[in-house]
Every structure is written in structure tokens, then in C-alpha cells.
């Protein structure tokens, strides 16, 4: 379930050894790859109440990025591409590729960089190496997905902090209007929410369904996240 940090992490750990890199992205995003006869995967969220399903709609990845990131077509991250190596955390091989002059900011057919793949696969050391090697934390795919949005939706506090330090925009929204703050709030990561707010994330931003990060947190019952945002608003009012 998206709102359950522990169960989501356990699911990721159980599924990782059995998933191709592109399928694992779907798993860690709290989605399920549902393979059709065409060989592509459609993504659906877990079963929730009707009101929560409505809220989830506001954060859905647009259809194109879902099909591209979760496709079974191996060319999405073909070995030994830097994207594949980043997803697998192959530090030594990544260094070799960088020494050969491989572009650390090259995008795959979905518009994702090696940095985005590393973030989607929780590869902390790889994120550090890529950033130190010139990876651009501000790059976003044509549909607005960034390394920061992948890290934020999974509650990767250290990665989020590092990406922000390297200039990642906390307010970049995807085609559905979803921001890193909304992902973190929806999935129940109060520390990430606090960090994003401290770096200027817009708490008033709305997605295409008209939801803010706060309304999403309230809608799925993430009270710790709600408290963080309310404390942030209170501190602003008291400081005026």
C-alpha cells in the first residue's frame, strides 16, 4: 500500500531479485505491473476506498511514462548502458564508463537519465557518484519525472537532501501536476516533506485534480505528514 512505509519496503525487498530493472521501478513506485498480451505493462494502484482512489488519481503517472518505464522492452535499460548500471548500482563499472567519456546526462528513450534510474532503484552510492561526476539533478523527462520525484516518493531522505544540494527543483511537476512534495506527502514520509518545505517546496501547489500536498495527506490519513505541514504553516504565520 502506498501509505505504508514498512510494507512497501518489504515488498520492494522481496520483489527486487525477481524483477527486471524497468519492472522494479514500477514496484518501488507503489504500483503493480500488469502485463497485457501486447507485452507492455499497465500500472494500477493498490485497492483503497473510493475516496482514496479519487485522490490517487491526482498522482498517477501519465500513461506514456507508465508504459515506457514499465515496458518489458529491454531497450529501456539495456546492459551495459549507464542507465542499466546505475539501476543495478554497479559502481566499478560506472566509473569505467565515466572514465571512457560516457555522458552521465544521456537520456534513454523515456527521457530518463542514469541519475533518475539510480534514484528509482534506491542506489544511494550511485547517486553520489553520478552527481560528483557531473550528473545534472535538474533534468526532467518529457513528462516531468525527475530523480528527485523518484527519491521523494520512496522516502529516500539522504538522496532527496543530496539532490536538493545539487540544485534539483523541488517544485517540478509532472504532466498530472504531481510534485515531489505531493509524492512524499501521499506516501507518508514526514521527514522528506519537512526537508522539501525547508528548501522552498510550494505547499499551495495543486495537481490536475485540484489537490494540494496537504489535502492528499489528509485524504489518505497520513497524520504525521499533516502535522509537519501544519507546523510549517504555523511557523510562517508566527514569523510574520
Q: Following DSSP, what letter does each residue of 107-153 receive, concatenated?
A: --TTS--HHHHHHHTT-HHHHHHHHHTT--TT-B-TT--BHHHHHHH
Q: Scanning the structure block, which residue is given the C-alpha cell 488519481?
A: 57
CA–CA dist 173, 182 (Å, integer): 9
- pLDDT recorded at residue 80: 65
- The number of domains in the chain is 1
What's the grid cell of residue 164? Answer: 536538493
- pLDDT recorded at residue 239: 79
CA–CA dist 17, 26 (Å, integer): 14
> What does the pLDDT look like over 42-86, one tens digit per residue?
222 233 333 444 444 434 433 333 343 444 344 445 556 999 999
- pLDDT recorded at residue 240: 63
DSSP at 33: E
The helix-helix angle for 124-132 and 91-99 (nearest 10°) equals: 20
What's the CATH number where 116 sits? Answer: 1.25.40.20
Q: Is the pTM of this model over 0.85?
A: no
As a whole number, mean pLDDT of residues 191-210 equals 97
- pLDDT recorded at residue 128: 98
Residue 8 pLDDT greater than 90, yes or no: no
List, in order, residues 6 or more apart from 86 with CB less than 8 Å away.
94, 114, 115, 117, 118, 121, 123, 126, 130
Long-range contact set of residues 228-236: C-beta below 8 Å, sequence gap at least 24: 228/190, 228/193, 228/194, 228/197, 229/185, 229/193, 229/197, 229/203, 232/194, 232/197, 232/203, 233/203
- pLDDT recorded at residue 20: 45
CA–CA dist 66, 147 (Å, integer): 16
What's the grid cell of residue 85? Answer: 548500471
pLDDT band at 203 (very low <50, low <70, confident <90, very high): very high
Task: Show the domain range for 53.
Answer: 5-239
Amino acid at each position: 500500500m502506498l501509505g505504508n512505509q514498512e510494507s512497501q519496503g518489504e515488498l520492494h525487498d522481496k520483489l527486487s531479485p525477481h524483477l527486471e530493472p524497468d519492472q522494479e521501478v514500477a514496484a518501488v513506485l507503489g504500483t503493480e505491473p500488469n502485463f497485457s498480451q501486447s507485452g507492455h505493462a499497465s500500472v494500477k494502484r493498490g485497492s483503497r476506498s473510493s475516496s482514496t482512489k479519487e485522490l490517487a488519481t491526482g498522482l498517477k503517472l501519465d500513461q506514456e511514462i507508465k508504459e515506457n518505464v514499465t515496458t518489458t522492452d529491454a531497450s529501456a535499460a539495456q546492459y551495459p548502458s549507464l542507465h542499466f548500471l546505475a539501476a543495478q548500482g554497479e559502481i566499478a563499472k560506472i566509473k569505467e564508463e565515466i572514465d571512457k567519456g560516457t555522458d552521465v546526462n544521456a537520456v534513454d528513450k523515456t527521457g530518463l537519465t542514469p541519475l533518475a534510474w539510480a534514484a528509482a532503484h534506491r542506489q544511494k552510492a550511485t547517486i553520489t557518484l553520478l552527481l560528483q561526476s557531473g550528473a545534472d539533478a535538474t533534468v526532467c523527462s518529457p513528462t516531468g519525472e525527475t530523480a528527485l520525484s523518484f527519491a521523494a516518493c520512496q522516502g529516500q531522505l539522504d538522496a532527496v537532501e543530496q539532490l536538493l544540494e545539487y540544485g534539483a527543483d523541488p517544485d517540478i511537476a509532472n504532466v498530472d501536476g504531481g510534485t515531489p512534495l505531493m509524492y512524499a506527502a501521499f506516501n507518508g514520509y514526514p521527514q522528506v516533506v519537512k526537508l522539501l518545505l525547508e528548501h522552498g517546496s510550494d505547499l499551495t501547489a495543486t495537481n490536475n485534480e485540484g489537490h494540494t500536498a496537504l489535502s492528499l495527506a489528509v485524504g489518505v490519513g497520513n497524520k504525521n505528514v499533516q502535522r509537519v505541514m501544519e507546523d510549517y504553516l504555523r511557523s510562517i504565520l508566527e514569523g510574520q
